[in-house]
Amino acid sequence: MIILRDEQRITRLATIAKWSNFVGMGALIAGLILAFTNVDSFANLVLYQLIALTTGWILSQIGIYLSHRYLRRPRPDEVLDEAVKKVAKNGRLYHYLLPVSHVLLTPEGIILFIAKYQGGNISVAGDKWIQKGVGLRKFFGQEGLGNPTREAEARIDIMAKYLRKHAPDVEEAPIGAMIVFTSKGVHNLDVKDSRIPAMHYTKVKGFMRQTKRPPMPQADYEAIRAAFDEKAAHLLNKG
């Protein structure tokens, strides 16, 4: 399997995550200090406190969002590499290069991986996702689970639009999605009722072996590969 990854983007966003966490924490501490400062010392004390706390909260949320994707080890892209490399030996895995973060191209079609790091007890019934067992981490220090089903469907639409623009000769590309939980901290995962295939990363290999699809026309595959490789040209041309 060929893995193409935008290492420069990962490094850049990891650095932003570190600074967002650092500066955000500093701003929050400053806001707390102002709360205990003599009111007579500053005419606009409440305004300064509000600015500090708001800035700190915004930066901390940015830091949380980016940290789980670009600082947390193993990163989602690394987990997906291990999950699929033995069952997609003829595949090309694109990380952070296309409109969707994790895209696998094989002669049979395209798979979009919706990586979720959230832990706890996760269940789904139709389109309704529920996360329990994480306590206050649900509100502090962890991004919400959201609705992975709708996220996957939105990513499919985004990829279809991308192909219509960059591979217009392909009339209909087989695009599928998989919701993959990449954390070892998932205590209970009840996702059998999900409309979009959803599973822990340890189950991906078995699922892909059981769901074989017929190959797409060779001309379509080559056109899609060219459209994807265009975004990875700086990696493919190295050396």
Between CA 58 and CA 66 the distance in angstroms is 13
Between CA 3 and CA 85 the distance in angstroms is 9
Is the confidence at residue 73, as pLDDT, over 90?
no
* Domain endpoint, select from 16, 48, 70: 70
Is the confidence at residue 134, as pLDDT, over 70?
no
Residues 55 and 117 in one domain: no
User: Closest Cα partner for 111 from 31, 26, 174, 186?
Assistant: 174
* Domain endpoint, select from 55, 70, 85: 70
Mean pLDDT of the 58-87 span:
90
Between CA 179 and CA 232 the distance in angstroms is 24
Is the confidence at residue 234, as pLDDT, over 90?
no
Residues 226 and 114 in one domain: yes
Mean pLDDT of the 9-34 span:
89
Domain that holds residue 170: 76-236
Residues 43 and 127 in one domain: no
Residues 108 and 212 in one domain: yes
Could you tell me where the beta strands, DSSP code E, fall in the chain?
Answer: 2-5, 92-95, 102-106, 109-116, 120-125, 128-132, 175-181, 186-190, 198-200
Residues 64 and 137 in one domain: no
* Domain endpoint, select from 26, 51, 70: 70
Residues 24 and 53 in one domain: yes
What would the pLDDT profile of 196-212 be if each residue is shown by its tens digit?
Answer: 999 999 999 999 999 88
Residues 170 and 231 in one domain: yes
Residues 121 and 224 in one domain: yes
Is the confidence at residue 26, as pLDDT, over 60?
yes
CB 136 within 8 A of CB 144: no
Residues 120 and 60 in one domain: no
Residues 179 and 133 in one domain: yes
Residues 59 and 151 in one domain: no
Please state the domain count of the chain.
2
pLDDT at residue number 149: 94
Residues 104 and 218 in one domain: yes
